[in-house]
Amino acid sequence: MPSLLGPGDPPPVELWNSAGSSPALLIADHAGSAIPARLGSLGLPPAARALHIAHDIGIADLTRALADRLDAAALLGRYSRLVIDGNRRLDDPTSIAQESDSVVVPGNRGLAAADRRARAEAVFAPYHAAIAAGLAERGRTGRRTALVSMHSFTPRMGGVARPWHLGVLWDKDGRMAQPLLAALRAEPDLVIGENEPYDARTGEGYTLDAHATPIGLPHVLIEVRQDLIDERGKAAALAERLARILEPIVEETARG
């Protein structure tokens, strides 16, 4: 089967500030909303493809801005999670969602095994290969590394308001999460969730489990409420603040 991606489709991964000197390596599984031309619109109108079901609103701008301020490298997934979700195991039923937040995705219904495999080979595998290669290169050169996974969440879900400005998600390794939680909670105007609005202990995530946990790499997942970063200027302002808080934690954690 020929590759799902054609000559007009973007590469699966955006590498930002590749020469960054910080120990932090930022990753953003759901930064992009691209759909391969061969898949058309997945049967969705433009308005649906602009929603959070397709990508993490604001997270691309935030991740790039934070990478610049930390002088860190960043890897951003360019394709919509509706094509295939980079933060789900391939055998997870939600890896290619047939419905998301009550929105039916016609182009994802009734897929043959070969169609699912084509998406995994064209989009999922190169993204994770890029992360693995980046970590391997750092290991070969003796660079200290702390992996920071960037995500955003909707202000409301199921009609219920989400009060948190940011969430810090972690499971068994609290080397980064615990000092980050303490530092963020010291900011008087921020409401901070621990394993909110999602819980890293439920095993729903994939990327950190696949790349950080097996080699004992310090890591954390940061969730940001989308109304704080849905404009570039707002994302830049939050990046400035996050860099101030995160930089000493990254340096101290990676040193250990």
* DSSP character at residue 105: -
Give 134's pLDDT tier (boundaries 50, 70, 90): very high
pLDDT in tens, 141-181: 999 999 999 999 999 998 899 999 999 999 999 999 999 99
Give 256's pLDDT tier (boundaries 50, 70, 90): confident
Write b or e for each residue in 45-62: b if 16 or more Cβ atoms lie within 10 A of its Cβ, otherwise e. eeebbebbbbbbbbbbbb
Q: Say whether pLDDT at 51 is over 90.
A: yes
pLDDT in tens, 62-82: 999 999 999 999 999 999 999
What confidence score (pLDDT) does residue 1 get? Answer: 57
Supply the pTM of this predicted model. Answer: 0.97
What confidence score (pLDDT) does residue 169 get? Answer: 98
Rounded to whole angstroms, how far apart are CA atoms 33 and 83? 9
pLDDT in tens, 13-35: 999 999 999 999 999 999 999 99
User: What angle separates helix 177-185 from helix 232-255, to the nearest 10 degrees?
Assistant: 130
Rounded to whole angstroms, how far apart are CA atoms 102 and 15? 33
What confidence score (pLDDT) does residue 104 get? Answer: 97
Show the 3-state SS of 197-238. CCCHHHCCCCHHHHHCHHHCCCEEEEEEEHHHCCCHHHHHHH
| Cα 25 from chain centre | 12
Give 202's pLDDT tier (boundaries 50, 70, 90): confident
Q: Say whether pLDDT at 188 is over 90.
A: yes
Give 182's pLDDT tier (boundaries 50, 70, 90): very high
> Terminal CA-to-CA distance of the chain, rounded, Å?
47
Computed over every residue of the chain, the mean pLDDT equals 96
Across residues 213-230, what is the average pLDDT?
97
Q: CATH assignment of 13-255?
A: 3.40.630.40
Q: Say whether pLDDT at 3 is over 90.
A: no
